């Protein structure tokens, strides 16, 4: 959370947020399965003004070999932001933040992927953030699940993700960049809707125990909405006219 910007009205007297949304309204979400012909699976997501492309490769041989595991497959995730994805040019070298988000997304996906089905191999997930506007880890995690399914990787469930948060002492769904910077709390949640399990939960900011519970509830409900769009993206590619 950045310091609060006194000039910014995050929630007006009618309960409308700085980008015109209601408190429980997600941004516009568009997910497309497929698109990269050289990847085994791929997905593209627009989550508000976030634009993210994900390519999945594998299961394939592990290099260096000593990283392989005879009992299970391994998942490797690289989250990368293009230098032009944010207002102030980002250094192309991997930042600590990108390394941390890569780890967070990998750990959020692992419970969903049946890694034991392909021992000694690796599945690589490459995430390219083309445009960022708050909530990229959730959008990336959501798209990565679709790309893994598109690659035909055996999965227990997909992980759907969205952030809940708090602005002007009010719990909100789907925190944008301004709300992240000037708001009171940001809680990204990754959830497997069929298994009813949370695989990612982070909290930046301060909440009362009641607000915390509300954020989890609002976030989980938001994940269920995201899940429908993930399934639609896969249905459109494999059973509809949206495939390639």
Cα distance between residue 204 and residue 28, in whole Å: 24
Nearer to ligand CDP by Cβ, of 1 and 16: the residue is 1
Nearer to ligand CDP by Cβ, of 124 and 133: the residue is 133
**Does the protein bind ligand CDP through residue 51 (CB under 6 A)?**
no
Binding mask 94-113 for ligand CDP (x = CB under 6 A): ---x----------------
Stretch that binds ligand CDP, among 38-46, 71-79, 83-91, 208-216 (CB under 6 A): 83-91
Contact set for ligand CDP, span 113-172 (CB under 6 A): 132-137
Cα distance between residue 24 and residue 222, in whole Å: 8
Stretch that binds ligand CDP, among 27-35, 86-94, 119-127, 223-231 (CB under 6 A): 86-94
Handedness of CA 143, 145, 146, 151 (dihedral sign): positive
Q: Provide the binding-site residues for ligand CDP, judged by CB under 6 A.
A: 86-87, 90, 97, 132-137, 177, 180
């Amino acid at each position: 959370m950045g310091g609060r910007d006194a000039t910014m009205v995050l929630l007006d007297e009618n309960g409308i947020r700085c980008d015109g949304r209601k408190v429980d309204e997600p941004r516009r979400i568009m997910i497309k399965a497929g698109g990269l012909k050289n990847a085994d699976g791929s997905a593209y997501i627009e989550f508000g003004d976030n634009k993210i492309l994900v390519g999945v490769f594998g299961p394939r041989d592990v290099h260096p070999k000593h990283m392989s595991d005879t009992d299970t497959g391994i998942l490797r995730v690289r989250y990368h932001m293009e230098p032009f994805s944010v207002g102030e040019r980002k250094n192309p070298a991997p930042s600590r933040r990108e390394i941390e988000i890569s780890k967070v997304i990998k750990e959020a996906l692992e419970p969903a992927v049946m890694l034991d089905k392909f021992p000694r191999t690796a599945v690589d997930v490459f995430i390219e953030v083309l445009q960022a506007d708050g909530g990229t880890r959730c959008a990336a995690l959501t798209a990565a699940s679709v790309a893994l399914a598109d690659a035909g990787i055996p999965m227990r469930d997909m992980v759907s993700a969205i952030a809940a948060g708090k602005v002007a002492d009010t719990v909100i769904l789907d925190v944008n960049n301004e709300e992240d910077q000037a708001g009171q709390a940001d809680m990204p949640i990754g959830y497997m809707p069929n298994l009813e399990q949370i695989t990612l939960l982070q909290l930046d900011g301060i909440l009362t125990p009641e607000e915390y519970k509300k954020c989890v509830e609002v976030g989980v409900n938001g994940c269920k909405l995201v899940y429908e769009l993930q399934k639609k993206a896969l249905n459109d590619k494999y059973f509809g006219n949206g495939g390639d």
